Amino acid sequence: DEEDIMRLDKFLSDMNMGTRTELKRDIREGAVQVNGEKITDPGFMVNENDEIIFAFLSVPYFRYEYYMLNKPAGVITATEDRYQKTVLDFFGERRRKDLSPVGRLDKDTVGLLLVTNDGGFHHRLLSPKKHIDKEYYARIDGRVDEADREKFEKGIYVDEIFTALPAKLMIDGYRENALESDFMDLANSRAPKSALENGVSEIRVVVQEGKFHQIKRMFHALGKEVIYLKRIRIGSIVLDPTLEEGTYRRLTAGEVAALEKNGHM
């Protein structure tokens, strides 16, 4: 297992102990010990097995961080953007600079997004061979019926280059009275307001692929439009219902291990 060798100020900033500027000052002022010795050079090289004490507290090193974010609408899945708010903006200034989102949700899609600095995890999770379930809750303009469910089960022809693999569709209900609040990202929505006349179906769908606009395109191919889309599960990881939109929490060790296994508990 390769060892990370890094500057002392980077070690502490990776562990969220402060900004690089603050930490350089703290180190110079003598707040830090390495393996029992006071070190005042912020550029002193350490590794993850060194015993670092900062302000009398031991700071163990975690190479990898894994989070679930409840993504709101109107935010793009990217690491940085000059003009638009990105999902990493929720992690604040002090975040590790190597964090990035796993996969992508559309700007108007909400819900479960995993964020990590473990590049191998991205790769292992997104590999199509893994067949990891992605479950979405959606509202559809008009009535979704049993015939639609059977088409999802058979695999929907979307266009010449994309036929979706068989997917599980669950029809949770239908309401004749659609509300303005049934639509996602109202300000930017391209959703047809005809749902206000046609009523709204609530469904869940489980796919194992992650093609661009996959769920919207599958419904569109059946002549129906998604008006709200929320990812609620990836493999064994269920979106924590206590997480408000725009907030995140660390994955537990158990959640990471279960995903690593094969996406299932």
Residue closer to ligand URA (CB basis): 13 or 70: 70
Among 14, 26, 106, 108, the active-site one is 106
User: For residues 8 and 229, which CB has a smaller minimum distance to ligand URA in the complex?
Assistant: 229
For residue 167, what are the CA distances in angstroms to 12, 164, 205, 225?
A: 46, 8, 7, 17
Residues listed for the chain: 265
Comparison of 116 and 214: residue with beta carbon closer to ligand URA = 214
Among 97, 193, 213, 249, binds ligand URA (CB under 6 A): 213
- For residue 117, give both structure tokens: 């600095």
Q: Return the residue of 115, 205, 215, 239 that touches ligand URA, per CB under 6 A.
A: 215
# residues contacting ligand URA (CB under 6 A):
8
* Least Cβ distance, residue 87 to ligand URA (angstroms): 12
Closest approach of ligand URA to the CB of residue 34, in Å: 45
Footprint of ligand URA on residues 62-121 (CB under 6 A)? 105-106, 109
* Smallest distance from ligand URA to CB 201, Å: 16
22 class by beta-carbon count within 10 Å (0-12 exposed, 13-18 middle, 19+ buried): middle
Q: CB nearer to ligand URA: give 27 or 76.
A: 76
Contacts 24+ apart (CB under 8 A), 213-216: 213/106, 214/164, 215/136, 215/138, 216/106
Give the contacts of 232 (CB within 8 A, at least 6 positions apart): 111, 112, 135, 136, 137, 204, 238, 239
Token duo for residue 193: 């307001």
Choices 5-13, 22-30, 208-216, 244-252 (CB under 6 A): range interacting with ligand URA: 208-216
Buried-state track 133-170, b at ≥16 Cβ within 10 A, e below 16: bbbbbbbbbbebeeebbebbeeebebeeeeebeebebe
Q: Cβ of residue 25: shortest distance to ligand URA, in angstroms?
A: 43
* Of the candidate residues 12, 69, 112, 229, the single one contacting ligand URA (CB under 6 A): 229
Q: How far is the CB of 59 from ligand URA (least distance, A)?
A: 37
Comparison of 59 and 226: residue with beta carbon closer to ligand URA: 226
Q: Which of residues 25-64 bind ligand URA (CB under 6 A)?
A: none
Q: Tell me the closest approach of the beta carbon of residue 108 to ligand URA, in angstroms.
A: 8
Q: Which one of the spans 92-100, 141-149, 196-204, 214-222 is the region binding ligand URA (CB under 6 A)?
A: 214-222
Of the two residues 178 and 207, which places its CB atom closer to ligand URA in the complex?
207
Structure tokens at 135: 């479950």
**Which secondary structure element, helix H or strand E, spans residue 231, and what is its range?**
strand 226-234
Half-sphere exposure of 246 (CA within 13 A, CB side): 6
Helix (H, G, I), strand (E, B) or coil at 226: strand
What contacts 143, CB < 8 A, 6 or more positions away? 174, 198, 199, 201
**Is there a contact between 214 and 57 (Cβ–Cβ < 8 Å)?**
no
**Does residue 81 have an active-site annotation?**
no
Q: Which residues of the shown chain bind ligand URA in the complex (CB under 6 A)?
A: 105-106, 109, 213-216, 229
The residues carrying an active-site annotation are 106
